[in-house]
Amino acid sequence: MSYFSGKTIWLTGASSGIGLAMAEQLAAAGAHLILTSRRSEALEQVRQSLANPDAHQILALDLSQPEQAVEQAHAQLGHQVIDILINNAGVSQRSWIVDTDLSVYRQLMEIDYFAVVALSKLVLPRMLERKSGHIVTVSSVAGKVGTKLRSGYCGAKFGVIGFMDSLRAETRAAGLQVTSILPGFINTQVAHNSLTGDGSALGHEDPDNAGGISAEECARQSLQAIANGKAEVVIGSGLSKLAPRLQRFFPGLVRKLVANRKTFDES
């Protein structure tokens, strides 16, 4: 993918899942990566495993505290040119609304929405000055279709798609690219790390995600969409890929489907 060769790309959520697969493919394509997740040790392991490791740097940030993360990022990156920002970090949810603490909703919004806004705003001024740059956010099919057990996750992902749509409209005249990636069911650890009603991790797989496409295939399709300058792309298979289109043309049908569909904790 020649589009990425020689470009400096800031990738969040880079230590596992889709982010790790993206990092491997971007490094192989000749990109210079700024790798972000919470733990510097994990990031350093990733950096050392990539093609041309000396071309990449790590930037450990806690994106549940976006303002602090922006301060740290600004201090480390300074005026470094960022060609592409890929907002990939995120956390999901598996809990019923009635059982979910308000603090869990806030944590989901901080990571899945406000961190995207904060990092995008950090790189945006320099991109506008250069009239060049690409901002990408990995949202979700859950940002188009609300489902059981994901009320806070869906809310954040709906919100971030709206933010990206507005960002695209505001920066089009300046020549910037803005891409929203909407994965469906992907076979990663996302369910294991999902927040339950009290904020603890679920700790086991969800059959929906376990049956999804691989992180590597999701990364490949995502990067192809970015290279092609797509505004929005849905990635997945089966119902999770079809759901946004069905929602658009047959919303009543989708409401019935999601209401009647059994979850992993319903008999």
Angle subtended by helix axes 238-249 and 251-260, to nearest 10: 140
Q: How many CB atoms lie within 10 A of CB 166?
A: 11
Q: How many Å from the N-terminal Cα to the C-terminal Cα in the chain?
A: 46
Per domain, the residue ranges of the chain are 2-260
> Which one from 3, 105, 113, 153 is the annotated catalytic residue?
153
DSSP-assigned beta bridge partners for residue 34: 10, 57
Angle subtended by helix axes 115-130 and 151-171, to nearest 10: 10
**Cα separations in angstroms, 260 against 92, 255, 266:** 21, 9, 11
What does the radius of gyration of the chain's CA atoms come to, in whole angstroms? 18
> Cα–Cα distance between 203 and 41 in angstroms, integer?
22
Query: DSSP letters along the chain, please?
Result: -GGGTT-EEEEESTTSHHHHHHHHHHHHTT-EEEEE-S-HHHHHHHHHHSSSGGG-EE----TTSHHHHHHHHHHHHTT---SEEEE-----B---GGG--HHHHHHHHIIIIIHHHHHHHHHHHHHHHHT--EEEEE--GGGTS--TT-HHHHHHHHHHHHHHHHHHHHHGGGT-EEEEEEE-SEESSTTTT-B-TTS-B--S--HHHHTSEEHHHHHHHHHHHHHTT-SEEEE-SHHHHHHHHHHHH-HHHHHHHHHHSPPTT--
2-260: CATH topology is Rossmann fold (3.40.50)
How do the pLDDT tens digits run along the chain, 267 residues long? 799 999 999 999 999 999 999 999 999 999 999 999 999 999 999 999 999 999 999 999 999 999 999 999 999 998 899 999 999 999 999 999 999 999 999 999 999 999 999 999 999 999 999 999 999 999 999 999 999 999 999 999 999 999 999 999 999 999 999 999 999 989 888 878 899 999 998 888 877 677 789 999 999 999 999 999 999 999 998 888 888 898 899 989 889 988 988 887 664
Closest CA to 123 of 131, 112, 135: 135
Is 105 marked active-site?
A: no
What pLDDT is stored for residue 211 in this prediction? 75
